Structures are given as structure tokens and as C-alpha cells.
């Protein structure tokens, strides 16, 4: 089974500052990688995904992530955060689109 | 992206009663549906995977007689929490994937409170 690690459980950041949310996974086989955002009492919304091709993936709301196979990482970044980015962020890994394995989540708080 | 509708969004029930949660794919055929449970401030825990027309595959530690999953059509899966107890109170989320899909689309979640 896959293991997905999000080392930072909470990340406070000032508005308009850059942010990076870290994600590492365990498998060495081909995987699909995802970042989801969850607002309170809501389901998950897909931010971006990596299936193949370019290792730099751009998503919605100005987020991007870079797949690094050698480091088995898929860190999420945004150059300038907004108050509305305050939410819970989950990294997920899927082997060929089958079962999804989620990290424990990172709570991003944007400080005015 | 594809739309998955989950209903109800919130439900409060008495201990000992059963609750049914519906998960519908609105604009695609969901050959596989996943049911998750999420505790406060924690990640999603996969409960079971269901393929249309087949019995669900439950994760270790999940009571299949308590959490009944039915995936009778390509657009609907249901999770029934039978004889609910307060410890079953949680946030339940479904997701659906099409036959050729590489990603799963998530419902809005259901907040279950058992009193």
C-alpha cells in the first residue's frame, strides 16, 4: 500500500506571501498524484493533478505543483496567497487511477 | 469536471436507527465508487470500494454489516449506517470514478450526528 506524508500539519502564512505545502509518497511504481482542497463541512475539490508529461503542473486558483520522481515528492506552491485560500489541503496518490491514498492534510491559515 | 451529488448534507438521527446516504454521479457513469469517513482534523479513511453490480470491498476494520453499501446502477451508490450509535457520528464522503477515468470526483460530504 501507498504511504503519503504531509509533514506540515499547520501552515500559517501572511496574505500575499508565498507558500509551499509539502507532500512525499512511498511508491516507486508509476502513480498519479493529486492535490485537493477542502473547505469546512464540504467535500474535496481538485486543485491539480499529475498523470504524466511535464513535471510542473498548474492548477486552479493560482496553485502549481512539481513532481519530483527521484525524491518522490509533489509539493504544492502558490506565489501569493489570499485570505480565501485558508482551508485544508490534501495530497493524494493513486496507482493507475485505482484506490486513492490520502495524506493527513495540511491546514493553511492565511493571516491578514 | 464531473459532478457528484451527495445527499443529505447533514443528518441527525437517534441512536439505534438507520441512516441512508446517497451518492449520485450526475453527468458520467460511475463504474467505481469509494466511501470515506473523516474524523475532525484528520484525513479521509477509505471504508469501502464498490463496483457497479458487485459487492463492495471493505477495508480492514470496517464492519460490512453495519455499513451497508449498494451500487445498483452506474449513477447511484448508497451507504446505510445501520443501528447507528454516537460513535458513528462523523463526516462521510463519497467519490466516483468513470471506467476510463484517472481521477475520482468527490461529493459534498454528509455530516452525521447520532444522538
Residues B25-76 pLDDT 10s: 998 888 899 999 998 878 888 999 998 888 899 999 999 999 999 988 889 9
User: Which of A13-22, A49-58, B91-100 is the least confident region?
Assistant: B91-100
Q: How confident is the model at residue A52 (pLDDT cuts 50, 70, 90)?
A: confident
pLDDT of residue B102: 75
Chain B residues near residue A105 by CB distance under 8 angstroms? 41-43
Distances (CA, A) of B109 to A9, A14, A60, B57, B96: 22, 30, 21, 20, 13
Chain B residues near residue A46 by CB distance under 8 angstroms? 1, 103, 105
Q: Average pLDDT, stretch B5-30?
A: 94
Distances (CA, A) of B74 to A13, B27, B28, B112: 43, 11, 8, 25
Residues B8 and B97: beta-carbon distance below 8 Å = no
How far is the C-alpha of B51 from the C-alpha of B76, rounded, in Å?
Answer: 11
A108 pLDDT higher than 90: yes
Nearest-CB residue to A100 (from B4, B6, B34)? B34
A28 pLDDT higher than 70: no
Q: Do B44 and A49 touch (CB under 8 A)?
A: no
**A28 or A108: which leads in pLDDT:** A108
Q: How do strand A73-78 and strand A19-21 relate by DSSP bridges?
A: antiparallel
Q: Average pLDDT, stretch A18-25?
A: 97
Q: Do A104 and B42 touch (CB under 8 A)?
A: yes
- How many helices and strands, by DSSP H and E, does chain B display? 0, 11
Nearest-CB residue to A46 (from B9, B103, B111)? B103
Best of A48, A98, A100, A101 to disrupt the B interface (most B CBs within 10 Å) is A100
pLDDT of residue B44: 87
A25 contact B CB<8A: no
Half-sphere exposure of A19 (CA within 13 A, CB side): 27
How far is the C-alpha of B103 from the C-alpha of A74, rounded, in Å?
Answer: 16
- How many helices and strands, by DSSP H and E, does chain A display? 0, 12
Q: Do A99 and B42 touch (CB under 8 A)?
A: no
Q: Do B109 and A42 touch (CB under 8 A)?
A: yes
How far is the C-alpha of A24 from the C-alpha of B29, rounded, in Å?
Answer: 32
Is the Cα torsion angle B33, B35, B40, B41 positive or negative in sign? negative
**A105 or A30: which leads in pLDDT:** A105
Q: In what order do the strands lie in the sheet with B67-73?
A: B4-7, B19-25, B76-81, B67-73
Q: How confident is the model at residue A97 (pLDDT cuts 50, 70, 90)?
A: low
pLDDT of residue B1: 65
The 3-state DSSP class for residue B72 equals: strand
Cα torsion A100, A104, A109, B3 to 10°: value is 20
Cα-trace Rg, chain A: 13
Residues B23-34: tens digit of each pLDDT: 999 988 888 999
Number of Cβ within a 10 Å radius of residue B35: 28
**Cβ contacts from A onto B, under 8 A:** 55
- Least CA distance to B45: which residue of chain A? A102
A20 pLDDT higher than 90: yes
Amino acid at each position: 500500500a501507498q504511504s503519503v506524508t504531509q509533514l506540515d500539519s499547520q501552515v500559517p502564512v501572511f496574505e500575499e506571501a508565498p507558500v509551499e505545502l509539502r507532500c512525499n509518497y512511498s511508491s516507486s511504481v508509476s502513480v498519479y498524484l493529486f492535490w485537493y482542497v477542502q473547505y469546512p463541512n464540504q467535500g474535496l475539490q481538485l486543485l491539480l493533478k499529475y498523470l504524466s508529461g511535464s513535471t510542473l503542473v498548474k492548477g486552479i486558483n493560482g496553485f502549481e505543483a512539481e513532481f519530483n520522481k527521484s525524491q518522490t515528492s509533489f509539493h504544492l506552491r502558490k506565489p501569493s496567497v489570499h485570505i480565501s485560500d485558508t482551508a485544508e489541503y490534501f495530497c493524494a496518490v493513486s496507482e493507475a487511477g485505482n484506490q486513492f491514498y490520502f495524506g493527513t492534510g495540511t491546514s493553511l491559515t492565511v493571516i491578514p | 469536471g464531473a459532478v457528484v451529488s451527495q445527499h443529505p448534507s447533514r443528518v441527525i438521527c437517534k441512536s439505534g436507527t438507520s441512516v441512508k446516504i446517497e451518492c449520485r454521479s450526475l453527468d458520467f457513469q460511475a463504474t467505481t465508487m469509494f466511501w470515506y469517513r473523516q474524523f475532525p482534523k484528520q484525513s479521509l479513511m477509505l471504508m469501502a470500494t464498490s463496483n457497479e453490480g458487485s459487492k463492495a470491498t471493505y477495508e480492514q476494520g470496517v464492519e460490512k454489516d453495519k455499513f451497508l453499501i449498494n451500487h445498483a446502477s452506474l449513477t447511484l451508490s448508497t451507504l446505510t449506517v445501520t443501528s447507528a450509535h454516537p460513535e458513528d457520528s462523523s463526516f462521510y464522503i463519497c467519490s466516483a470514478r468513470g471506467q476510463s477515468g484517472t481521477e475520482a470526483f468527490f461529493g459534498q460530504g454528509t455530516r452525521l450526528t447520532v444522538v
